A and B are shown apart, each in its own frame.
Chain A
């Protein structure tokens, strides 16, 4: 099953982890379950907000009204993946 998901980043002033590596890992883990779209495409069914630290200061005011998943550390990658799979996929989908 495909879901259209967008990534929104904080500005990256002083990130406590490598946000690009983290999103690459996220993309790898989600594999072909997800079609990646941009925030302003009007197509996103969910947004993953990649925050460089727990201060989580990304401006969310202009995001589409869809579910949001917050990533504020590398340790959370697995949780975000699990939450997304639970929210969007039927059981067993993650075996494909």
Chain B
């Protein structure tokens, strides 16, 4: 059965020979590294829940290629129900991990490519779609985690790839051989890259004829020769190295991003899904972005955790009945459920593409993600309001066990009678983690820039709105001829 267990997944990562750097040193065993491990455990949750009777209905689905039960993260959406279940799965996993579980980007890349390869084949009589389906079968049978790699470093944003002073600012083809091509460049901010078996590369923006060498999409094993990973660091990351777990906030899970560098890496033809078809780069970005903007359903689940933490914190200090606290909790829920509406709406209004793949409603997916660039910030502000200042002024866990000051801290940080102080401190650390610490990378800045910065959604909203219809309706009611 092509469904790995969490343990099998972690073991499979140990078999990879990745070249990973962090804090200026090569990391020999990323899976067991204290800083990286929580992120591997978050991905492992996507494997674990696929075996859990209470969640398998969302986490698994029948493959349209093999008929086998597969992890939904390796699936090509076959109907609207699939799109809906994808949104629901995002919320579920966000709530269960309280962080970015990293596996959605590859799923979104596979779905976008299932559409675009078909469209390219129609125009140019190429064989990309069959190649992609062969690759997909391999991913499904082996239940792989795939890093969806779109974002280039981009150098001077005002210049297209071919005008960049350094041509490597966008990943590009440097050589064509009989067996394949050689590429050079980098992909920035790669979510879960070091926890992935495969890396699936796509161009990052629309391109013109002079950019043809930059219009390239392919997949490689994550440990292919010539690929190097440099881990991004996160606020408070070294807390994971300290004895005791409380100050981490989320004591189980986390996310990660890395810069992935391709130094003259060979790509065989059978792993190429776009090669110089620059006229399809923009549409691929639009499709991937739409799916990935839907994927920000996960932030609703993380919002569930933050709202739960804020409510618990209010109860610990006896303010939960105050009218302004109740109102703030309602407001947080209102914002969070509004986000949920968006990811459900774009799925419900999905449509079938000529390739057979179901695609979300692109306008609504952009509206959803645009809300995501805002609401988690407001939910965080309200959570910090309710939490009080201790979430940022609390001494370290070690101080609480100190023979000299520990008893004083316990005396002065005691809250309501009957509430163990430990519980309050843990919840406050979790709020800190989500709004300022390692998880704020995922809950806040990823909400802002991941799947495209806010302006990218505004451009899409502007393009997709049927303005003529609005004008027609207005004119008719106003009696304008």
A contact residues vs B (CB 8 Å cutoff):
7-14, 19-20, 38-39, 57-59
A15 to chain B, nearest CB (A): 9
For B87, the closest partner residue in chain A by CB is A13
For B85, the closest partner residue in chain A by CB is A11
User: How far apart are the CA atoms of A57 and B85 in the complex, in Å?
Assistant: 9
User: Among the listed A10, A11, A14, A59, which residue makes an inter-chain contact with B340, where contact means beta carbons less than 8 Å apart?
Assistant: A14
For A23, the closest partner residue in chain B by CB is B54
Contacts of A10 in B (CB 8 A): 57-58
For A39, the closest partner residue in chain B by CB is B53
| Interface contact A12-B92, CB-CB below 8 Å | yes
User: How far apart are the CA atoms of A8 and B304 in the complex, in Å?
Assistant: 25
Contacts of A7 in B (CB 8 A): 53
For B297, the closest partner residue in chain A by CB is A13
| Interface contact B88-A9, CB-CB below 8 Å | no
A24 to chain B, nearest CB (A): 12
| Interface contact B88-A13, CB-CB below 8 Å | yes
| Interface contact A14-B91, CB-CB below 8 Å | yes
A52 to chain B, nearest CB (A): 9
Between-chain CB contacts (< 8 Å), 13 pairs? A7-B53, A8-B53, A8-B57, A9-B55, A11-B85, A11-B88, A12-B55, A13-B58, A13-B89, A14-B88, A14-B304, A57-B84, A57-B88
Tell whether B105 is near chain A: CB-to-CB under 8 Å.
no
B279 to chain A, nearest CB (A): 39
| Interface contact B57-A59, CB-CB below 8 Å | yes
User: How far apart are the CA atoms of A38 and B304 in the complex, in Å?
Assistant: 31
Contacts of B56 in A (CB 8 A): 9, 11
**Residue among A11, A19, A39 with most chain B CB within 10 A:** A11
Contacts of A14 in B (CB 8 A): 88, 91-92, 304, 340
| Interface contact B59-A11, CB-CB below 8 Å | yes
| Interface contact A11-B57, CB-CB below 8 Å | yes
B440 to chain A, nearest CB (A): 23
User: How far apart are the CA atoms of A20 and B81 in the complex, in Å?
Assistant: 25
What per-residue 1/0 map shows which CB atoms of B164-179 lie under 8 Å from chain A? 0000000000000000
B303 to chain A, nearest CB (A): 11
For A58, the closest partner residue in chain B by CB is B57
* Other A-B pairs, 9, CB within 8 Å; known A9-B57, A12-B54: A11-B55, A13-B58, A13-B88, A13-B92, A14-B304, A20-B54, A39-B53, A58-B57, A59-B57
| 8 A Cβ contacts from B44-66 to A | 53-59
For B92, the closest partner residue in chain A by CB is A13
Contacts of B89 in A (CB 8 A): 11, 13
User: Among the listed B53, B84, B304, which residue makes an inter-chain contact with A9, where contact means beta carbons less than 8 Å apart?
Assistant: B53
User: How far apart are the CA atoms of A12 and B50 in the complex, in Å?
Assistant: 12
| Interface contact A11-B53, CB-CB below 8 Å | no
For A50, the closest partner residue in chain B by CB is B54
User: How far apart are the CA atoms of A75 and B57 in the complex, in Å?
Assistant: 23
| Interface contact B58-A19, CB-CB below 8 Å | no
For A60, the closest partner residue in chain B by CB is B57
What per-residue 1/0 map shows which CB atoms of B267-305 lie under 8 Å from chain A? 000000000000000000000000000000000000010
A57 to chain B, nearest CB (A): 8
User: How far apart are the CA atoms of A38 and B56 in the complex, in Å?
Assistant: 13
Contacts of B92 in A (CB 8 A): 11-14
**Residue among B55, B81, B340 with most chain A CB within 10 A:** B55
B355 to chain A, nearest CB (A): 24
A61 to chain B, nearest CB (A): 9
Contacts of A57 in B (CB 8 A): 81, 84-85, 88
Contacts of B58 in A (CB 8 A): 10-13
User: How far apart are the CA atoms of A58 and B54 in the complex, in Å?
Assistant: 11
User: How far apart are the CA atoms of A12 and B59 in the complex, in Å?
Assistant: 10
A32 to chain B, nearest CB (A): 22
| Interface contact A13-B54, CB-CB below 8 Å | no
Contacts of A38 in B (CB 8 A): 53
**Residue among B53, B57, B92 with most chain A CB within 10 A:** B57
